[in-house]
Chain A
Amino acid sequence: AQSVTQLGSHVSVSEGALVLLRCNYSSSVPPYLFWYVQYPNQGLQLLLKYTSAATLVKGINGFEAEFKKSETSFHLTKPSAHMSDAAEYFCAVTSSEYGNKLVFGAGTILRVKS
């Protein structure tokens, strides 16, 4: 079965440190890949989207993600964490192998320490 795996249900970084949230997916056809952020008791907000153009995708709030086909990965990074980045982050994938539905990973909760 197709799957989306987010390594680490919780990630903790210090303010100003690099943020790295990992996402791996399974798909033998070109996928569309998304990262969303969710603040407590709110809906999901789109951070960025990969649609087979540039492999390095820049999003909002200083986040970016790199599509690596050979590694089937789409990791999310930010050079310097801010306290306001504390939230839950979801990776999502769609392709014909996913029945053309958007399938989400289990999420990673990011904690930013002062």
Chain B
Amino acid sequence: SQTIHQWPATLVQPVGSPLSLECTVEGTSNPNLYWYRQAAGRGLQLLFYSVGIGQISSEVPQNLSASRPQDRQFILSSKKLLLSDSGFYLCAWSVGRVSTDTQYFGPGTRLTVL
């Protein structure tokens, strides 16, 4: 069966510090991968998605970037964190068509920027 991992589970970082969040998927090949951010009291905002190694689509211009160095690894990064980057970051995967196939979510990373 497929499993998705995210780490760390929680993170507290000062403003201006760098960020690296990692997501890995097991049990499937060539998945579509997604990064979402969930701010308090709001729904999920799609940040990036990837349909293959090195292929990244950015949905919202911001202080973050994403990379996919391996088939089942998706990394979310920032060079300098802002207070507004605080939130709950969720990674998800799907197979097949990005538009219609079910997305399965990881456990999330709670990021607090102070």
Q: Name which residue of chain A comes closest to B103, CB basis.
A: A102
Query: Contacts of B100 on A, CB cut-off 8 Å?
Result: 32, 51, 94, 100
Query: Measured between alpha carbons, how far is A4 from B93 in the docked complex, in Å?
Result: 22
Total number of B residues with any Cβ neighbor in A under 8 Å: 24
Q: Does A34 contact B (CB under 8 A)?
A: yes
Contact A44 B105 (CB under 8 A): yes
Q: Name which residue of chain B comes closest to A46, CB basis.
A: B102
Query: Contacts of A105 on B, CB cut-off 8 Å?
Result: 43
Query: Contacts of A36 on B, CB cut-off 8 Å?
Result: 105
Contact A9 B41 (CB under 8 A): yes
Total number of A residues with any Cβ neighbor in B under 8 Å: 25
Query: Measured between alpha carbons, how far is A103 from B59 in the docked complex, in Å?
Result: 12
Contact A101 B90 (CB under 8 A): no
The B83-98 residues at the A interface (CB cut-off 8 A) are 88, 90, 92, 97-98
Apart from A100-B99, A100-B100, A102-B103, what are 12 other A-B pairs with CB-CB below 8 Å?
Answer: A41-B88, A41-B110, A42-B107, A42-B108, A43-B107, A43-B108, A44-B90, A46-B104, A49-B102, A90-B43, A90-B44, A94-B100
Taking beta carbons and an 8 Å cutoff, which residues of A are in contact with B?
4, 9, 32, 34, 36, 41-46, 49, 51, 90, 94-96, 100-107
